Chain A
Amino acid sequence: MRARTPRLVLATLWLGVPALLCVLALFINLGRDSGWLRRPERVVTLERRLAALEADLDSDVPVGVWSDGPNMEAHFLAQYALAPRLLDTAAQAPALLLAVTAPDGHGPGAPYRLRRDYGGGLRLYVRAPR
């Protein structure tokens, strides 16, 4: 019994210490990351833009893209909403034009007029009739 007790204590320590450290590690990380405690505003905004884009692009009209600078987030979002159609970077005077610009960027100008500003540098323009 005497020989057994220290072995049992040692084995408990061998297993118990790393096991408790593992449990602690997960809870510390859960405590640090507050993203799962509430819906992040950024995600809410992205999903709102996605829903609006999908509603506006629900047709077979080719959609061009116009950009005056990199805005990958808006670019990815536009393509995600548009799939399986492709954002056509080479389209000549498309009927719909998605402007992907810096948040305070400018649009493509005539002959296009703004149809909707989704925010974050993403806007939909339509070609004005001649």
Chain B
Amino acid sequence: MSAAVLAIMVPWVLGSALFLLASPAAWRSWGLWPAVGAGLGLGLGGLLCSWWLFLVGPPGAGYFTVEASITGVSLLALWRRRDRLMAAPVPAPESSLTLAGLWWPLFVVACLWLVLESAYHAHGGWDAWAIWNLRARFLFRAPEHWQLALSPVLSWSHPDYPLLLPSMVLRGWRLAGNDTTAVPVMVAGMYTFGAVALVRGAVGALRGSTQGNLAGLIMLANYAFLKHGASQFADVELAYFILTAVALMVLAQPHRGMRISLLLLAGLALGLAAWTKNEGQLFALLCLVAWPVSAWRHAGIRSALRVTAGLLLGAAPGLLAVAWLRLASSTESDLLNARTMAALWQHLTDPQRYLIIAEAFGRELAGLGSGILIIVLLYGWWVGREPARDRDPALHAGAWVLSLLLAGYFCVYLITPHDLHWHLGTSLSRLLLQAWPAAVFLWLMALRVPQ
């Protein structure tokens, strides 16, 4: 158990230090930097662990020494720049309507629920058994032959899926010395509540703590999101990285001469999203196009080049890991395996498929989190949009990316070789949850704050 805690704490410190080095002004936003640091640091630990496995071998004392050294250097750099942290602006005093009295008790209830749920389902939900923890077991029990986890014999477990989540679990298990279920449980908990806390922290830092607490309450109200987190599904990790990339870009304001270090961290989040799930690769691709185009339109070609370079450089370790896996694995994606153009064309030109998919999207969106989406939309209609945010290019670009991501999912359903009803029924709700935290963040950023 203590090793599992250590497996979480060291990357948390590393991620927080990296974020504060990039954005020292966030020092007094206590709800923001720990939430960014937790997931980004753990993801970076998993990514390092993947590369160590590929290039060096089983991660052992050498790996953990390197990781601890990087963390130590980051902390030292932060200490040397402590003047900038101390110069961070003190948040303005809040009105009496802070909602903190509702947020904190509900947060504690949700945490206790997750502990109980995880105690009862320590191995997670079905996808965790069949895909994520199974893959982690392969990596932990035979690290010298990690390619076994990609065997076509396991075709039902999607051997083409990336390895970030299994690598994070592997890292914890190597530290613990055994494959205790405490590690995947803690990883899942960190990302579930990391996403909740990050939406609250980012909205709170940019729009005031009242709006931030409301954002946190909205996240906690979506029971399906918490449930998927407790089930140890990778969709929650992906949702976190999508949110982090979008939030960092909005925080960084690329159209106003942003710092390259924040761009690098946003790029890192893109790379981690791509290394978490195949859907994350689509998200990373969309961001690598949409953000530079937005920067070009609003701040010129130099800004666009700067954004492209920063994002690409940050995303490179994750994207290269995806490329490495593609070369190591002979398994094709079940969605793109050998199919004729005629079969694809037949699906694309079938109007019935469009109707079925559109209907499923409508149904799932209306029922998202037992109708929480409707509450959020009604709230937006009630308070109205913030005029100053109407023309914020960072918000617009984020909204475009999420819309195109959902359009991409729509297209995947169009061409899927699986039975359409089965495929929609078993995956659409999870895919919508991937975009949920980022959508809540963007929506509350765009709305007026009741004074």
Contacts from A to B (Cβ < 8 Å): 7, 10-12, 14-15, 18-23, 25-26, 28-30, 33, 35-36, 38-40, 43, 46-47, 50, 72, 75-77, 79-80, 83-84, 86-89
Nearest B residue to A24 by beta-carbon distance?
Answer: B221
A12 adjacent to B97 (CB under 8 Å): yes
Find chain A residues with CB under 8 A from B378 CB.
18
Among A10, A21, A33, A46, contact of B221 (Cβ-Cβ < 8 Å): A21
Interface status of B148 (Cβ within 8 A of chain A): yes
B358 to chain A, nearest CB (A): 26
B154 close to A35 (CB less than 8 A): no
Residue in B closest to A39 when the chains form the complex, CB atoms: B120
- Which residues in chain B, 125-141, are within 8 Å of chain A measured between CB atoms? 126, 129-130, 133-134, 137-138, 141
A30 CB contacts on chain B under 8 angstroms: 109, 113, 223
What are 17 of the A-B contact pairs (CB < 8 Å)?
A: A10-B450, A14-B382, A19-B214, A19-B217, A20-B102, A25-B221, A25-B369, A25-B371, A26-B106, A26-B221, A33-B223, A36-B120, A40-B120, A80-B123, A80-B133, A80-B134, A86-B151
In contact, B450 and A36 (Cβ under 8 angstroms): no
Q: Which residues of B contact A47 (CB under 8 A)?
A: 122-123
Return chain B residues, CB-CB under 8 Å to A29.
Answer: 223, 370
Q: Which 5 A-B pairs have the closest CB atoms?
A: A29-B223, A84-B142, A22-B221, A11-B450, A83-B137
Does B450 contact A23, Cβ atoms closer than 8 Å?
Answer: no
Q: Would you call B372 an interface residue if the criterion is a C-beta within 8 Å of the partner chain's C-beta atoms?
A: yes
Q: Which residues of B contact A72 (CB under 8 A)?
A: 156
Contacts known (A12-B97, A21-B375, A25-B372); A83 close to B223, Cβ less than 8 A? no
In the complex, what residues of A have CB within 8 A of residue B148's CB? 84, 86
Known: A22-B106, A26-B109, A33-B227. 7 other contacts (CB 8 A): A19-B99, A25-B369, A30-B223, A36-B113, A46-B123, A76-B134, A79-B154
Write the nearest CB–CB distance from A74 to chain B, whole angstroms.
12
Give the secondary structure class of A's interface. Answer: helix
Taken together as a complex, chains A and B put the C-alpha atoms of A26 and B376 apart, in Å, by 14
Interface size grouping (class) on chain B: 35 or more
**Which single residue of chain A is at the shortest CB-CB distance from B227?**
A33
- Please determine whether A22 and B137 come into contact, CB atoms closer than 8 angstroms: no
Contact of A84 among B109, B113, B130, B145 (CB under 8 A): B145
Given contacts A11-B451, A26-B109, A36-B116, contact A76 B130 (CB under 8 A): yes
Cβ B218 vs Cβ A22 within 8 A: yes
Nearest Cβ on chain A to B83's Cβ, whole angstroms = 37
| Cβ of B418 under 8 Å from chain A | no
